[in-house]
Structure 1
Amino acid sequence: MKTLEKVSSFAGNTFAVWVILFAILSFFLPGGFTWIAPHIALLLGIIMFGMGLTLSLSDFKAVFQAPKSVLIAVLAQFIIMPLLAYGLATIFQLPAEVAVGVILVGCCPGGTASNVMTFLAKGNTALSVSVTAVSTLLAPILTPALTLLLASKWLPVSAGSMFLSIVKIVLVPIVLGIVIRLLFRKQVEKSVAVLPLVSVIGIVAVASAVVAVNTENIVKEGLLIFAVVVLHNCLGLALGFVLGKLLKLDLRDQKAVSIEVGMQNSGLGSTLALAHFSPIAAVPSAIFSVWHNISGPVLATWWGKSDEPIDPPKDKRGKTA
């Protein structure tokens, strides 16, 4: 078990490397990865189940301890990224399916990798975990509604069908994971250390499958999509940070808000695109998955190396001791 835990830890720490490596492999050797495509929804369900196993009631404490920060981050998540996606799709005059794909990933909740990035960036990890959990639980309602509002200009959107898809592949697995953790806490805590390995394998498989079934589309539109995805992610990170600063959150919270806004659940975006639109609509999510696992670690490393002032201890009257 210890060996498996070490492998899991290594996989989690080198997550970005595996995403990039297998994205390249699947592009040049698509035949070895296309078989995964029919199982993407199942893979995402397993990832979400693993997320549920790691959640406990304490992860939602920040919602009550710092409701302002949680509310700001969740609202920013579902306002900044969708509007940025709509603006970029319009400005760059993207083809309809690509435009919908960009908007779809923008309307998804934050990704689980954001929690790790926030920790490495010396941000407020508890806030990050709470925001990811809350935004994910809101996704069945907000993701279809926002996609319908913003993407129907390009293609017809069935918000009801998307709602059912998200409930099945996100909400049900997460709730099941939380319930199992409550019922079998000791057994779950013994195995939770290997969950990063499961998540890495699942996310890498999803990204690889999407790339594999879209090699021709990536050759044709890849450079444009890549430029839009990079702008989308970088602007999201920057605006999240600026918003936190303007609203006078402390630096640790600013970092958490920035990363939560900028890093999306691109696996969910890929799954919904394949199920409700077309393979090319999943390309922005696949590229987003690769790119934000480059930008996230780079930003986290830069922030993590910065020296932050430590507040001196205070007595019960609030005065510096």
Structure 2
Amino acid sequence: MIEILLPLGLGFIMFAIGLGLRVRDFTRVAREPLSLGAGLVNQMILLPLLAAALVMLYDGRPTFALGLMVLAACPGGITSNLLTVLAGGNAALSVSMTALSSLIGIVTVPLVLGVSQALLLGDGQVVGLPLEKVLGGVFVVTGVPIALGMAINHRWPRLTEAARPYARHLATAIFAVIVIGAFVGQRETMVAHAADIGPYVVALNVGTMTLGLLTARALRLPLADAVAMTMEAGLQNAALAILIATTLLGMPEMVVPAILYAFFMNLTAAAFIAWARARARTGVVGRP
């Protein structure tokens, strides 16, 4: 049953994201190349590289390390756009980053998974991961629902505008159910190994948010853009990582980093929102 409900739940989450997207959200890179380009580099390149550096220091279970890499390759989460608004960030930039990273993730997630499993498991332990299945699965549960949501938004804009808040709330609830369900299924492993992989999960979350802020400061971007970049990088699509681990790969232990990350990322997001609001009068990151 979970093999059916999990893809459907994640598909609805991505559909809800699609309801808020238009074609211009994908073409914004031509109009705002610096902020959007820097945000995508931070999300799609620096985040996996940071995860790779962390797993090189980690000497625990290879499946946990692999789960951390898959999580790092996933796009931004369902709540990133809403929390960006609450923090006073650039909502349009956040939406564009979510849209583009979700589509790029169709390719990058299987790519990172394929490279990581060979490096982390070793030649003697490499298993025949169904990367074609992962590629197809990620496309079906991300690309197709996003496209469907965009099509409905284009055809019936007033209807989707009215339905969008309810769809987002339902998608957030589904995300919570997915994470809680995964936790219940792996609670014994979670309790036994939270102290093992947990510090690396925390380091990944705090590290990537810090990278977002430092990048924005180096480029002298407005605070609103820095907030969007940081939120998008810090709030990962843990539900997608859980789907890949359980449904596509049949490796349920891989969900442990994603579950821990889903919990901790909301704590750091709350702290970051408080900081961003306190700095709302500042136009550029790092300036008083």
So what's the TM-score if we normalise by structure 1?
A: 0.81
Map of 2:275 onto structure 1: 302
SS of 1:94's equivalent? Answer: coil
Higher mean displacement: 158-167 or 234-243: 158-167
* Equivalent residue, structure 1, for 2:20: 54
**Which ranges of structure 1 fall in alignment gaps of 5 or more residues?**
1-34, 312-321
User: Aligned ranges for residues 66-145 of structure 1 at < 5 Å?
Assistant: 66-145=32-111
Query: Following the alignment from structure 2 to structure 1, what is the Cα–Cα distance between the partners of residues 61 and 114?
Result: 17
* Structure 2: distance between partners of 1:285 and 1:55: 26
1:46-95 CA-partner distances (Å, limit 9, x unpaired): 11111111212343453232112111111211112211222222202131
Q: Does 1:39 align with 2:5?
A: yes
1:192 and 1:280 map into 2 onto residues whose CA distance is: 34
- State the distance in 2 between where 1:94 and 1:127 align: 37
| C-alpha contact 2:18 2:148 (8 A) present in aligned 1 | yes
- What TM-score do the two structures reach when normalised by structure 2? 0.90
Whether 1:271 and 2:243 are equivalent positions in the alignment is: yes
SS in 1 for 2:89: coil
Say whether the 8 Å CA contact 2:223–2:283 is kept in structure 1: no
- Return closer, same or farther for 1:117/1:186 CA change in 2, 3 Å cut-off: closer
Indicate if the aligned counterparts of 1:110 and 1:136 stay in contact, CA closer than 8 A: yes
| Secondary structure of residue in 1 paired with 2:59 | coil
Q: Distance in 2 between matches of 1:302 and 1:59?
A: 27
Deviations 1:12-67 (A, max 9, x none): xxxxxxxxxxxxxxxxxxxxxxx756521110001111111121234345323211
Assess, with a 3 A threshold, how the Cα gap between structure 1 residues 310 and 107 changes in structure 2: closer, same or farther.
closer
- Is the Cα–Cα contact under 8 Å of residues 13 and 78 in structure 2 kept in the other structure? no
Q: Deviations over 1:208-256 (max 9, x none)?
A: 1110110111121112222211111000100111112122322222222
Q: How many residues align?
A: 277
**Compared with structure 1, are the counterparts of its residues 222 and 38 closer, same or farther at alpha carbon in structure 2 (3 Å cutoff)?**
farther
Q: Is the 8 A contact 1:37 1:210 kept in 2?
A: no
Counterpart CA distance in 1 for 2:158 and 2:240 is: 30
Deviations 1:151-188 (A, max 9, x none): 32224443322110111111111101111121222222
| Distance in 1 separating the partners of 2:28 and 2:83 | 18
Question: Structure 1's 289 and 309: CA in aligned 2 closer, same or farther, altered over 3 A?
Answer: closer
Q: 1:284 aligns with which of 229, 237, 257?
A: 257
1: CA distance, partners of 2:221 / 2:18: 28
1: CA distance, partners of 2:197 / 2:8: 26
Question: Which residue in 2 is equivalent to 1:217?
Answer: 189
Alpha-carbon distance in 2 for matches of 1:119, 1:186? 21
Mapped to 1, the partners of 2:49 and 2:117 lie a distance apart of 11
Q: Is the 8 A contact 1:50 1:177 kept in 2?
A: yes
| Greater gyration radius | 1
Distance change >3 Å, CA 252–CA 189, structure 1 → 2: closer
Judged with a 3 Å threshold, the aligned counterparts in structure 2 of structure 1 residues 287 and 190 are, in CA distance, closer, same or farther, namely same
Q: Distance in 2 between matches of 1:310 and 1:69?
A: 15
Instruction: Measure the CA separation in 2 of the matches of 1:158 and 1:72.
Output: 32
In structure 2, C-alpha distance between the alignment counterparts of 1:60 and 1:306, rounded to whole Å? 29
Contact in 2 for aligned 1:128/1:256 (Cα 8 Å) = yes
Match of 1:188 among 160, 166, 171: 160
Residue 281 of structure 2: SS of its match in structure 1?
coil
Residue identity in the other structure for 1:179? A
Provide the identity percentage.
Answer: 27
Q: CA RMSD in A?
A: 1.9
Higher mean Cα deviation, 128-137 or 239-248? Answer: 239-248
Quote the Cα distance in structure 2 between the aligned partners of 1:94 and 1:84.
17
Map 1:185-264 → 2, pairs under 5 A: 185-264=157-236
CA distance in 2, matches of 1:252, 1:149: 35
Q: The residue matched to 2:74 in structure 1 has which SS? A: coil
CA distance in 2, matches of 1:304, 1:189: 27
